[in-house]
Amino acid sequence: MKPLLFFTGALLALPAIAPGITLAETDSDALETEDRITVTADFRRTDLSDFSGSATVVDGETIRQREGGHLDQVLNLAPNVNFSSGASRGRFFQIRGIGERSQFVEPTNPAVGLVIDGIDMTGIGGAATTLDIQQIEILRGPQGTLLGANALAGMINMVSGSPTDTLAGGFDVRLAERGTRVVHGVISGPVSDGLGFRLAYANERSDGFQKNAFFGTRDVANIDEQTLRARLRWQPHADVQVDLTGLYLDIDNGYDAFSLDNTRTTFSDEPGFDRQETLAGSARVQWNAHSAFAIEALLSRTDADLEYGYDEDWSFIGFCEVFECLARPYSSFDEYQRENRNTTVDVRAISRTAADQFGWVVGAYYRDQTQTLQRIYTFQAQDFFSDFNTENRAVYGQFDLPLTDRLTLQAGLRHEQRDVRYSDSDNARFRPDENLWGGRLALAYQTDGGALLYALAARGYKAGGVNSDSAIPDAQREFATETLWNYELGLKTRLWQGRIDLRTALFFQDRDDIQTQQSLVVPIEGDVCPCRFIEFKTNATGGQSYGIETELNWAVSNSVQAFASAGLLRSRFDGFLNFSHVDADPETGQPFDMDGRDLPYAPRYMFAAGVRFQLTDRWYLRTEIEGKDAFFFSSRHELRSDAYELFHARLGYQVGNWDLALWARNITDEKVKQRGFGSFGNDPRKGYAVEPYFQFGEPRTLGASASYRF
């Protein structure tokens, strides 16, 4: 399949249209385009300035200007949104401090939904490549009416380019340090009257930024990703539109991230991998069935095969013959092979009414997901197998009621029935079925000057379940459903004759039965590490978080545009006595009291800012800074990241249909800690003494790119 995809990519490298605002456009053009930015994830396409909720929309041009090949390379533009790595990409997401940080044996019910062109890719964050993505929509706060159980914290909606009425296309080529070479190609146009197509291909390869001292190589954390997108739009009738989307991903990345010396040089003799082969698609039908309402139906299917494995000892056989050791070394490899089969059906009726009239939506939803796991682990006598099947059935509705010419009431409700079937090779059998509900109530007020003021209350939920590993104490085998109430006040307005676009929101979140990921550290032999880790979930009594999110776009002059975003966040556990915390007393059974401690991956501040200068008709310069506060890596230990600031720059030259650029990321070569462990030791030279270990982000990277459009 790879040679075929590469050949397809070579053909497509004739033509990538990157939607969005080009730097050559005037400020008035840019502001007019900004006016048309819509949030497509909602039941109705809604202008961002009219959306009564906290949302960030990153357009395709911004993605291209940042040279972002994956979602994790643009997420820092959104306030109070974070990600966790522990893999070749940042594929676990957190919004306002809520979200998964990793996945091993246990199946997950993610708190952040991920939808790509209508395809439910929740829990498969590695699939979030940005080829031909027109915009990324990040909705903060529970989406209990919209998406249900997989959107307790919010959702990320990625939308690729649509077929065009005329032939159009382009290509992007990028070269950078450490053997990075990227080719993107897009071609789009009509096939016949009423039928259009769009085809996009990307091939991204890099040696990565990890070295391996055992092999003497620099590519043990390599990137090897291919993405193929295809879209058809058919309009057989003036009142009917059919959109078909296909997605193929072939990811064969290396994973060798942790070093005993906490550097970017590892000693592993079995470097790991992070692989994925995914075939997915969706079919969306929009039918203006009646003068009073339209029907929308969406069918999506995902078939994903994922392989994830790593050298658990981070060293090589004979390590202690080279280095002096205080303890006897061990050698092991841990591998997880998952199959994820996910089918969703969503059918809704939507009133065809103007914005100032009573509007409504009613719908039904069905989701059938099966996740199978085979774990191959050195210290298991036999492979571990599990089968996790969930069926979700939901009905939902929402209405928009104008109370006055300027004041609108919006109310939504969703009821969801979730049936679960779990079985594994340890003879565990669980069926934790339950009924869940969520919704929102919002008031939106339009001022005389066109500003939007809104207040909302929204309820989200995350289903409970059972921990499968029999080594977990009986009292901790089950974990309860988590619920969240989000209260929010927001303002969206334009200032200074429309040159400043300002969006800000204050929020307070109250959580009950917080689901938090823990792990038991069990010595493999004797009473000291090396150890094996048993992941499980438990509930804290509750928790709270509050903060503010602000985003600003400013057309300073005809040649200068600026943007900024900032998020402040305070979060805490309430009533959480943690028995698995590293500081809990195993002899007395005294737990560690985490009452009042910050949630993991919840930095107290985040910010991003940048300026785009149109230096001449052809030359432009884009400079950026982004940063975030230190945050806890886990609720099991007290290890934190470091606060950091990153600087980026891009110098470009535009002539005709060409855009040529030199760029740099992380100019000051900041050593960013993306993931950390603080509850075990893994170095036989130190007798397996407990110490911190970190996975680091990308170092300074210099590159050049060329784009052509027609």
| Domains, in order of start, for the chain | 2-709 (2.40.170.20)
pLDDT band at 530 (very low <50, low <70, confident <90, very high): low
Q: Give me the helices (H) in 470-628, please.
A: none
Residue 329 has pLDDT above 50, yes or no: yes
Return the CA Rg of the chain.
Answer: 25
pLDDT of residue 249: 98
Residue 331 has pLDDT above 50, yes or no: yes
CA gap 468, 102 in Å, rounded: 17
CA gap 667, 699 in Å, rounded: 8
Residue 33 has pLDDT above 70, yes or no: no
CA gap 579, 231 in Å, rounded: 51
Residue 678 has pLDDT above 70, yes or no: yes
pLDDT band at 581 (very low <50, low <70, confident <90, very high): confident
CA gap 104, 303 in Å, rounded: 19
Identify the helix (H) or strand (E) that includes residue 639.
none
Lowest model confidence (mean pLDDT) among 101-115, 475-489, 516-530 = 516-530
Residue 24 has pLDDT above 60, yes or no: no
CA dihedral 462, 467, 473, 475 (to 10 degrees): 40
Block residue for tokens 């969520």: 438
Q: Which of 312, 332, 311, 329 is nearest to 320 (CA)?
A: 329
Residue 36 has pLDDT above 90, yes or no: no
Rounded to an integer, what is the distance from CA 192 to the centroid of its chain? 37
Q: Which of 134, 141, 73 is nearest to 608 (CA)?
A: 73
CA gap 88, 256 in Å, rounded: 8
pLDDT band at 529 (very low <50, low <70, confident <90, very high): low
Percentage of the chain surpassing pLDDT 90?
81
Report which DSSP code applies to 71.
G
pLDDT tens, position by position, 450-501: 999 999 999 999 998 888 777 777 777 788 999 999 999 999 999 999 899 9
Question: SS3 helix, strand, coil % of the chain, rounded to 5?
Answer: 5, 55, 35
pLDDT tens, position by position, 374-393: 999 999 899 999 999 999 99
Please return the burial class of 617, using the count of CB atoms within 10 Å of its CB with bins 0-12, 13-18 and 19+.
Answer: exposed
Inter-CA distances, 326 with 58, 319, 329, 686, 689, Å: 52, 12, 9, 6, 10
CA gap 348, 350 in Å, rounded: 6
Report which DSSP code applies to 380.
-
Task: Sort strands 240-255 and 619-628 into parallel, antiparallel or unpaired.
Answer: unpaired
pLDDT tens, position by position, 622-663: 999 999 999 999 998 999 999 999 999 999 999 999 999 999
Mean pLDDT of the chain: 91
Q: Which of 603, 508, 509, 505 is nearest to 550 (CA)?
A: 505
pLDDT of residue 23: 28
pLDDT tens, position by position, 337-351: 999 999 999 999 999
Residue 531 has pLDDT above 90, yes or no: no
pLDDT band at 419 (very low <50, low <70, confident <90, very high): very high
Contact 375, 336 (CB under 8 A): yes
pLDDT of residue 20: 32
- Give every CB contact of residue 333 below 8 A, 6+ residues apart in sequence: 270, 272, 309, 310, 311, 312, 376, 377, 378
Residue 22 has pLDDT above 80, yes or no: no
User: What's this model's pTM, rounded to 2 decimal places?
Assistant: 0.93
Residue 428, token pair as written in the block: 């565990």
Question: DSSP readout, 125-145?
Answer: GGG-B-TTEEEEEEEES--TT
Cis peptide bond N-terminal to 530, omega within 30: yes
Contact 513, 543 (CB under 8 A): no
Contact 264, 302 (CB under 8 A): no
Inter-CA distances, 318 with 255, 462, 613, Å: 22, 47, 56
pLDDT of residue 697: 96
- Give every CB contact of residue 307 below 8 A, 6+ residues apart in sequence: 273, 274, 275, 276, 335, 336, 337, 338
Q: Give me the helices (H) in 391-480, please.
A: none
Q: Which of 74, 76, 174, 59 is nearest to 129 (CA)?
A: 74
Residue 288, token pair as written in the block: 């203006």
pLDDT band at 107 (very low <50, low <70, confident <90, very high): confident
pLDDT of residue 5: 40
Please return the burial class of 596, using the count of CB atoms within 10 Å of its CB with bins 0-12, 13-18 and 19+.
Answer: exposed
pLDDT tens, position by position, 37-93: 899 999 999 999 999 999 999 999 999 999 989 999 999 999 999 999 989 999 999
Q: How many CB atoms lie within 10 A of CB 401?
A: 13
Comparison of pLDDT for 104 and 453, the residue scoring more: 453
In degrees rounded to 5, what are phi and psi of residue 462?
-140, 120
Q: Which of 532, 534, 569, 536 is nearest to 550 (CA)?
A: 569
pLDDT of residue 28: 32
Per-residue buried b or exposed e for 53-70, using 16+ beta carbons within 10 Å of the residue's own CB: bbbbbbbbbbbbbbbbbb
pLDDT of residue 131: 97
- Give every CB contact of residue 571 below 8 A, 6+ residues apart in sequence: 96, 97, 543, 544, 545, 598, 599, 602
CA dihedral 92, 94, 98, 101 (to 10 degrees): 30
CA gap 271, 256 in Å, rounded: 5
Report which DSSP code applies to 2.
H
Diameter over CA atoms, the chain: 81
pLDDT of residue 528: 57
pLDDT of residue 525: 65
Contact 117, 134 (CB under 8 A): no
Q: What mean pLDDT comes out for the span 422-426?
A: 92
pLDDT of residue 467: 84
Residue 633, token pair as written in the block: 């890596």
pLDDT band at 17 (very low <50, low <70, confident <90, very high): very low
pLDDT of residue 527: 55
